[in-house]
């Protein structure tokens, strides 16, 4: 048994590089997904029917596909459209796109749960700042479910 752990220790470089990959990919994709989600959320709530419909189809589509299958599609399927990514980049792209859909949905939920008054007040006070008031509140109110969202991953 101890001997077996000795093998693990002698291969620690491999394990550590795996840990580094996991950490870097998670961190990068989390930030990128959050940013992409911030762009997607207004699209989801857009008054323009077409824009909100396209965003809704994307978000619901992502929520209906297992992540592993989506990663396979990015890696094996995208070359058919002429997009050829190496394994690391396609992993990052898959994580980012997939999580962006979830981020957008969480942000939309948090946004919809906000009371309307602060937003109206923000609009009255200064148009240039009207995004700041709700966005900080929205982000802080849904940070828990965001953190909860990231570990849910094979």
Partner 1 sequence: MSGADIAAIFGGAVVTVSLSLVGILIGLPIGLGLALIRWANVPFVARIVVLYVSVLRATPLVTLLLLLFFALPNIGVPINPISAAILALVMNTSAFNCEVWRSALMGFPKDQYEAAQSVGMRAGQRFRRIVLPQIVRVSLPGLVNEMSLLIKVTPVLAVVGVVDITRAAVRIGSETYEPLPPFLVAIALYAPIVFALVSLQRWIERRQLAVEAAA
Determine if 154 is a binding residue for partner 1 (CB under 8 A). yes
Would you give the end-to-end CA distance of the chain in angstroms? Answer: 28
Q: How far is the CB of 57 from partner 1 (least distance, A)?
A: 11
CB atoms within 10 A of CB 17: 10
Using the rule CB under 8 A, give the single segment among 29-37, 71-79, 82-90, 125-133 that binds partner 1. 71-79
Task: Determine if 61 is a binding residue for partner 1 (CB under 8 A).
Answer: yes
115 near partner 1 (CB under 8 A): no
Neighbours of 24 (CB within 10 A): 12
Q: Which of 64, 86, 87, 127 binds partner 1 (CB under 8 A)?
A: 64
Tokens matching residue 127: 């148009």
| Minimum distance from residue 132 beta carbon to partner 1 (Å) | 30
- Enumerate the H helices of the chain as residue ranges: 2-10, 12-44, 49-64, 67-72, 87-113, 116-125, 132-149
- Of 7, 29, 30, 27, whose CA–CA distance to 19 is shortest? 27
**Residue 83 backbone class (left: φ over 0; alpha: ψ -120 to 50; beta: rest):** beta
List 69, 121, 125, 147, residue binding partner 1 (CB under 8 A): 69
Total site size for partner 1, rule CB under 8 A? 18
Structure token digits, residue 26: 């998670």
Is residue 67 part of the contact set for partner 1 (CB under 8 A)? yes
Min. distance of Cβ 98 from partner 1 in angstroms? 10
- Pick from 72, 84, 88, 129: which binds partner 1 (CB under 8 A)? 72
Binding region for partner 1 (CB under 8 A): 60-61, 63-69, 72-73, 76-77, 80, 151-154
């Amino acid at each position: 048994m101890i001997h077996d752990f000795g093998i693990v220790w002698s291969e620690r470089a491999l394990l550590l590089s795996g840990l580094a990959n996991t950490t870097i990919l998670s961190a990068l994709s989390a930030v990128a997904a959050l940013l992409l989600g911030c762009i997607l959320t207004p699209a989801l709530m857009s008054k323009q029917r077409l824009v909100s419909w396209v965003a809704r189809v994307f978000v619901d589509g992502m929520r209906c596909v297992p992540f592993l299958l989506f990663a396979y599609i990015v890696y094996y399927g995208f070359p058919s459209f002429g997009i050829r990514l190496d394994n690391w980049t396609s992993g990052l792209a898959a994580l980012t796109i997939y999580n962006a859909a979830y981020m957008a949905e969480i942000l939309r939920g948090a946004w919809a749960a906000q009371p309307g008054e602060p937003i109206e007040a923000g609009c009255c006070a200064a148009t240039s700042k009207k995004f700041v008031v709700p966005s900080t509140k929205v982000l802080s109110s849904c940070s828990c479910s965001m953190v909860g969202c990231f570990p849910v991953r094979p």
